[in-house]
Amino acid sequence: MSSVITNVEDLRVLAKRRVPRMFYDYADSGSWTEGTYRANESDFQKIKLRQRVAVNMEGRSIRANMVGHDVAMPVAIAPTGLTGMQHADGEILAAKAAEKFGIPFTLSTMSICSIEDVAAHTTKPFWFQLYVMRDRGFIERLIDRAKAANCSALMLTLDLQILGQRHKDLKNGLSAPPKPTIANLINLATKPRWCMGMLGTPRRSFGNIVGHASGVGDLSSLSSWTAEQFDPNLNWGDVEWIKKRWGGKLILKGIMDEEDARLAANSGADALIVSNHGGRQLDGAPSSIEALPAIVEAVGKQIEVWMDGGVRSGQDVFKAWALGARGTLIGRAFLYGLGAMGEAGVTRCLEVIAKELDLTMAFCGHRNLSGVDTRVLLPGTFPKP
């Protein structure tokens, strides 16, 4: 099957066939009108490249460095909730694929497989993403568990103090735990491969929370806990507290404003991620690639600037790099691969992106990324600070 997969869109189509609608829609949707969600992709397409000829294309490399980690390409796996509902043991499989390929994997607080599950199935350090909850004791224990698992960076998500209104999830009845409707049960009956996988794993709950958070011993008590726990009082003082508690590499995710970027740089964090949460929070916000150049100009010498949102190809990675991002994260792209073909699908996704990045770089007259900047882009087609 992998031989006919030539791009990320092929993986998306296959994932849509194989993943139950409730969970496919959870991954492949935005908030409100989904305008920002769509702009994340479409704004990349507006940026045009300058093709160069008669230049030496031998000996190319797309290797890079992200917060001190040597990476096979400037791409990391983004933290995504419910990954283990796209495919049984999804976080473990994606982490293994990322490790073998040589890029970072980030585990979400809201994962199905726990920190310990992923650590037991990988040999190299992975990253852990943290949401700030009202229960500070639980946060302290999560950070300590990430340390014990030898996680090499902590990614703090800042843009989910409250939840954006995602219409598809509301219509599908998605909840934690899911409450299947008759329509969803009928839909599950058409996904036998997914159902067999889920029957074969014990990991069907939120592994980082159930049994670890006070008062959450099973799925029945989880729903009310999550509804109460996301902390709308999150502030920069909390960032300072978390940085001290963690003591290692800290990445701040969810920056879309120059002023917030300056605050992030001044916080002592090692990297920030220009991100609108995949268009799942504030609909009507600009796309991540549109917001990127102004943030790079504001803080790019003080802190590593990365971006996520809409990255579906190696060309997107190349364009983001040209605009100053020193790293990109992929969420939906790897989830499509996972839902389509498990670990092999994630690997195929990474292979496709790496190949597209390498070829695009060559066509634009470069053999490595160090010399790539806005000069590879056609004037008038890309956003400026």
CA-wise closest residue to 264 among 291, 243, 293: 243
**Residue in 69, 87, 277, 366 annotated catalytic:** 277
H-helix or E-strand containing 66?
Answer: strand 64-66
CA-wise closest residue to 383 among 288, 281, 276, 258: 288
Q: Which DSSP string do the residues of 67-106 spell out, in sequence order?
A: TTEEESSSEEEPP-TTGGGTSTTHHHHHHHHHHHHT--BE
SS3 111: coil
| 273/294 Cα distance (integer angstroms) | 13
| 312/291 Cα distance (integer angstroms) | 18
SS3 153: strand
CA-wise closest residue to 304 among 14, 69, 111: 69
- The conformational region for residue 342 under phi > 0 = left, psi -120 to 50 = alpha, else beta, is left
Active site residue 212: no
Q: Which positions are catalytic?
A: 277
